[in-house]
Amino acid sequence: MGIKIYKPRSPGRRNMSGHDFSELTKTSPEKSLTAPIRRTGARNNFGRITIRHQGGGHKRRFRKIDFLRNKIDIPATVASIEYDPNRTSRIALLNYVDGEKTYILAPVGLSVGDIVISSAKADIKPGNSKLLKEMPTGTVIHNIELRPGKGAQISRGAGSSAELVAKGDQYCQVKMPSGEVRQVLSVCRATVGQVGNTDNENIKVGKAGRTRWKGVRPTVRGMCQNPIDHPGGGGEGRGKGHHPMTPWGKPCKGHKTRHNKRTDRMIIKRRSKK
């Protein structure tokens, strides 16, 4: 796993970098674990754009990832480390002893031939899955559930990880990737280790066309638009933009939008310094 630097043979290549894919052991996915992705161009059934800046991009197939890890006490062998175009992290193909095959997110340190298991008796090593109450304090974890049995929702991106900082009878305190300390039910499941492909944050796209390959269309700044199209548009000369607004007049860029009193009691320490 490393970064490949291109020679500056063109303006787009000059500041471009990419993955060397040295950690991959297989180029084609397991066909039984893929599914087609229906492309809508971010339009609804009336043909109107409901999400801006989406469309185009390379054709991809979805990889079915096991975020539940509910095959308890059944060991599995890592068959391959593969590329997934739908996420920043790498995925690992598991072959269970009962014949079933699944994909999981590949953590740092997981390699072909390793044995992983979801069990209360599992060792604290990358790829093993346990309940939070079954892990020792200080364990680095990822793929964390917020509701038991719903599947992992927290810390799934490349290079992300959380830390189990305290345990109680009903709740455990988990330090999130953002720095927030939050209470999570002790019967929620998590996976040991840090998500792999840690160099993803250091990749330089280099040119606009590479973003279009990902299905991201151009974004025009509000201050460059007309007054009818955006609150920040228009004016004689160049304006400062004043208060940042969305195209629909809602505050943004630092404006707090979280109003969830139901889960406020779960937050022990916020990520902000206030």
CB atoms within 10 A of CB 108: 17
**pLDDT class of 274 with cuts at 50, 70, 90:** low
What is the Cα–Cα distance from 169 to 133, expressed in whole angstroms?
A: 8
Distance of CA 118 to the CA centre of its chain: 22
Which residues does 255 contact at the CB level (< 8 Å), separation at least 6? 244
SS3 (DSSP) at 32: helix
| pLDDT confidence of residue 83 | 97
pTM: 0.91
pLDDT tens across 132-187, in order? 999 999 999 999 999 999 999 999 999 999 999 999 999 999 999 999 999 999 99
Here the tokens at position 18 are 């990419």
* Domains of the chain, each with CATH number or no CATH: 3-201 (2.40.50.140)
**pLDDT class of 243 with cuts at 50, 70, 90:** confident
Q: For residue 130, how many C-alpha atoms fall within 13 Å in the half-sphere facing its CB?
A: 20
> If we measure between CA atoms, which residue out of 83, 81, 92, 76 comes closest to residue 60?
83
Here the tokens at position 186 are 């002790």
pLDDT tens across 4-41, in order? 999 999 999 999 999 999 999 999 999 999 999 999 99
| pLDDT confidence of residue 238 | 83
Percent of the chain with pLDDT over 70: 99
| pLDDT confidence of residue 2 | 85
3-state helix, strand, coil in the chain (%, to 5): 10, 30, 60
| pLDDT confidence of residue 90 | 97
Residue for token pair 């970098």: 17
Distance of CA 192 to the CA centre of its chain: 16
Provide the mean pLDDT of the chain: 94
| pLDDT confidence of residue 75 | 97
What is the Cα–Cα distance from 127 to 109, expressed in whole angstroms?
A: 9
Name residue 92's beta-bridge partners. 81, 104
What is the Cα–Cα distance from 176 to 141, expressed in whole angstroms?
A: 10
Q: For residue 197, how many C-alpha atoms fall within 13 Å in the half-sphere facing its CB?
A: 23
| pLDDT confidence of residue 53 | 96
Here the tokens at position 161 are 């990880």
